[in-house]
Amino acid sequence: MSRRFLPALLAPSLTLALAWPTAAAAAPSPTLHDDNPNGKSGDWYTGAIPPNASDDKPVLLFVQGLHSDYTTWTADDDYYTAAYNAGYRTAFVQLPDADGAGGSMWTNGSVLADVIKKAADYYHVPQINVIAHSKGGIDTQAALVHYGAHPYVNVVHQLGTPNKGSELADLAYSDWTWWLAEILGMRDDAVYSLQTSYMAQFREQTDSRPEARKAATYMGAATGDDGWFSATWFAHAVLPGSDDGAVSLDSAFGLPYGIRAFTDNGSEKLSHSMLRYASKTWEQVRPKLKLASAGWSEAGAAEAEWADAGLAEEADQAVRVPARSGDEAAGAIYRGGEVDGVQTERIPLEGGIENVLIDIMVADKATAVELISPSGEVYKPEEGEAVPDELGIFGKAVHRVFSLDKPEKGEWTARISGERDAYFLLAAVQGGVDLKWRADKQVFKKNDTASLQLATRSGKAKQTSLQQAALRRAGSGKGTALQQLRVHAASDSEMNVRFQVPSEPGVYNLSFEVSGVDESGEAFTRSVNYNFAVTDEDGEIPRPE
């Protein structure tokens, strides 16, 4: 939460975007290769051959992200038109997401590997370049490393790929969001596979294999959002450090052998969705597109391989990608549950808070929401903008928004009135007690002991405690009892939490509240969601159910 919710975000940008030719010729519609008569998954398209095409330009295959289809690349402000006018031959793929629910990297990677080979064969080239947005970059890694497509690709350019997963996916399986996610259908194999602990093992399974370094992989990232009260704007409260509203910078730059290509575009801060717009990033991607080099080495470390292709300086950048601190900021308060009648949530706010922004998400527009101050003043919400959540997790929700500058201290009450609905309340707090937490490990063997450290860094706490801890196993839909949750207070402002992880393999989310009293005697609370996984006897995390 490095740039959280300041009034400056509302100021109009005075900078200019990258120059974009307005007279670009419209690209003819791509040609369908209908290889799946029973659906869209496995179908692929080839773009029209540009009049200025030449063999000294690589063939480009575009891979879209979560819950998207090939039209990601052919709609307004599209990469297809940019590539066509620049003389590139193109291909597009339809993954299982095009037929409905999103697929994991295993399902999508298998389909993508086949299309990669078909595209190279169609154009009679030994290797192609891949441009991948969001989860499409992970699907590409699976195709190259685990499904044998690495001989056919020499360059991959990622745009906002969650290489370490996304905390938004973790939150979709938390105790607070469970009911709303169930109603909205927010969870599927794709979202399951993007949980950070699952991705931690995918990194272990992938990055150590030599196939991972056969292609030069460029990583592009962003630090903006889609505007005031948009889904990507509120995601800043969930994601650690700088982020694009869906993927943290640390995750986007999460490949140890990747080449850091760009952050934003030099003129403006971009959101996760903007990364795939040609006017925003094409001119940054285009110089990285390359034919396979005759001197390309398939052995050795990334620096040695890329040096043969004239990429030694860029390879060195891969070593300098900054790692995120192990400390996570807990600057939000989460609540959630079912609504059938009137549901109330009490939110204590301590003094010293500069601003709190509260987003109450529901499924039904008829559900009414109001906020009541400690002194009894009633606040009505604003409607959040209908900007889709690019990861497809919270985008379907109805957003009811409150913005409070220097809020009255004391207990606030949120009142939600509706029938057969659910809600998720997210309160992003600026100022007040600064709580940090750390978990040194995310992947465990059954019955291992997990350990978390929590501490307040400013506004010394006189008393802290852990409350309302709930554990859920992702994919099963059931809560799981903790055998024992041991809390040791190292001081008034520090706690160590230890517990034995479950014996059943799977991905879990431990959701809990840290409550206390600050040095002024005022109550405070913050929420923490800890995502972790338990492996089976073979050291594997179960794949999506």
* 16 pLDDT more than 50: no
* 317 pLDDT more than 50: no
Which tokens hold the place of 540? 């594997």
Same-domain check for residues 424 and 439: no
Averaged pLDDT score across all residues of the chain: 85
* Mean predicted confidence (pLDDT) in 116-137: 98
* 8 pLDDT more than 50: no
Q: Is 545 exposed, middle or buried (0-12, 13-18, 19+ CB in 10 A)?
A: exposed
The pLDDT of residue 491: 67
Same-domain check for residues 137 and 278: yes
* 312 pLDDT more than 50: no
Same-domain check for residues 532 and 505: yes
The pLDDT of residue 458: 54
What's the domain range around 408? 330-431
Q: Rounded to an integer, what distance in angstroms lies between the CA atom of residue 363 and that of residue 347?
A: 22
* 147 pLDDT more than 60: yes
Quick check: is 51 in a domain?
A: yes
Q: Rounded to an integer, what distance in angstroms lies between the CA atom of residue 77 and that of residue 403?
A: 33
CATH of the domain at 361: 2.60.120.380
The pLDDT of residue 321: 39
* 19 pLDDT more than 50: no
Q: Rounded to an integer, what distance in angstroms lies between the CA atom of residue 323 and that of residue 423?
A: 35
CATH of the domain at 140: 3.40.50.1820
Q: Rounded to an integer, what distance in angstroms lies between the CA atom of residue 144 and that of residue 136?
A: 12
* 308 pLDDT more than 50: no
Quick check: is 21 in a domain?
A: no
Quick check: is 372 in a domain?
A: yes
Same-domain check for residues 246 and 391: no
The pLDDT of residue 310: 43
The pLDDT of residue 298: 40
Beta strands in 107-224 (DSSP E): 128-133, 153-159, 216-221
* Cα–Cα distances in angstroms (integers) from residue 41 to residues 97, 103, 112, 332, in the given order: 8, 10, 9, 39
Pick the range with the lowest mean pLDDT from 153-162, 313-322, 506-515: 313-322
The structure tokens 């629910």 sit at 101
Q: Rounded to an integer, what distance in angstroms lies between the CA atom of residue 323 and that of residue 386?
A: 34
Same-domain check for residues 241 and 158: yes
* 456 pLDDT more than 70: yes
The secondary structure element, H or E, covering residue 419 is strand 410-431
* 13 pLDDT more than 60: no
* 18 pLDDT more than 80: no
Beta strands in 279-394 (DSSP E): 328-329, 332-349, 353-362, 368-372, 378-379, 382-383
Which tokens hold the place of 357? 């922004």
| 316 — pLDDT class (breaks 50, 70, 90) | very low
Question: The sheet that has 478-479: what strands, in order across it?
Answer: 443-444, 523-534, 506-518, 461-473, 478-479
Quick check: is 186 in a domain?
A: no
| 314 — pLDDT class (breaks 50, 70, 90) | very low
Q: Which of 411, 431, 451 finishes a domain? A: 431
Same-domain check for residues 79 and 206: yes
* 132 pLDDT more than 60: yes
The pLDDT of residue 385: 53
**pTM (predicted TM-score):** 0.88
| 297 — pLDDT class (breaks 50, 70, 90) | very low
Nearest alpha carbon to residue 171 among 95, 97, 234: 234
- Contact (Cβ atoms closer than 8 angstroms) between residue 40 and residue 69: yes
Q: Which of 292, 319, 346 finishes a domain? A: 319
Q: Please write the tens of the pLDDT for every residue from 202-216.
A: 999 999 999 999 999
Beta strands in 296-331 (DSSP E): 328-329
The pLDDT of residue 309: 41
The structure tokens 């060195």 sit at 316
- Contact (Cβ atoms closer than 8 angstroms) between residue 510 and residue 530: yes
Q: Rounded to an integer, what distance in angstroms lies between the CA atom of residue 260 and that of residue 317?
A: 6
* Mean predicted confidence (pLDDT) in 322-326: 46
Same-domain check for residues 120 and 211: yes
* 490 pLDDT more than 60: yes
The pLDDT of residue 466: 65
The pLDDT of residue 139: 99
Q: Please write the tens of the pLDDT for every residue from 20-36.
A: 444 578 899 999 999 99
Percent pLDDT > 70 in the chain is: 81
Same-domain check for residues 279 and 408: no
Quick check: is 12 in a domain?
A: no
* Mean predicted confidence (pLDDT) in 174-188: 87
Q: Report helix, strand and coil shares of the chain as percent, to nearest 5.
A: 25, 35, 45
Same-domain check for residues 286 and 358: no
Which one is predicted more confidently, 120 or 489?
120
Q: Rounded to an integer, what distance in angstroms lies between the CA atom of residue 170 and that of residue 499?
A: 19
* Mean predicted confidence (pLDDT) in 228-235: 68
* 413 pLDDT more than 80: yes
Quick check: is 191 in a domain?
A: no
- Contact (Cβ atoms closer than 8 angstroms) between residue 199 and residue 290: no
Quick check: is 403 in a domain?
A: yes
| 137 — pLDDT class (breaks 50, 70, 90) | very high
Q: Which residues contact 498 (CB under 8 A, 6 or more apart)?
A: 449, 450, 451, 452, 485, 486, 488
| 235 — pLDDT class (breaks 50, 70, 90) | confident
Quickly count helices (H) and strands (E) in the chain.
12, 25
Quick check: is 171 in a domain?
A: no
Nearest alpha carbon to residue 131 among 117, 116, 118: 116
Q: Rounded to an integer, what distance in angstroms lies between the CA atom of residue 276 and that of residue 79?
A: 7
Same-domain check for residues 102 and 161: yes
> To 10 degrees, the CA torsion angle through 13, 14, 16, 22?
80
Same-domain check for residues 442 and 535: yes
The structure tokens 């070593």 sit at 319
SS3 411: strand
Residues recorded for the chain: 545
Same-domain check for residues 67 and 206: yes
The pLDDT of residue 545: 61
* Mean predicted confidence (pLDDT) in 418-429: 95
Q: Please write the tens of the pLDDT for every residue from 353-367.
A: 999 999 999 999 999
Q: Which residues pair with 133 in a beta bridge?
A: 159
* 319 pLDDT more than 50: no
What is the total count of domains within the chain? 3
- Contact (Cβ atoms closer than 8 angstroms) between residue 347 and residue 513: no
Q: Which of 319, 344, 364 finishes a domain? A: 319
* Mean predicted confidence (pLDDT) in 136-165: 98
Q: What angle do CA 474, 42, 396 make, to 5 degrees?
A: 45
- Contact (Cβ atoms closer than 8 angstroms) between residue 295 and residue 309: yes
SS3 150: helix
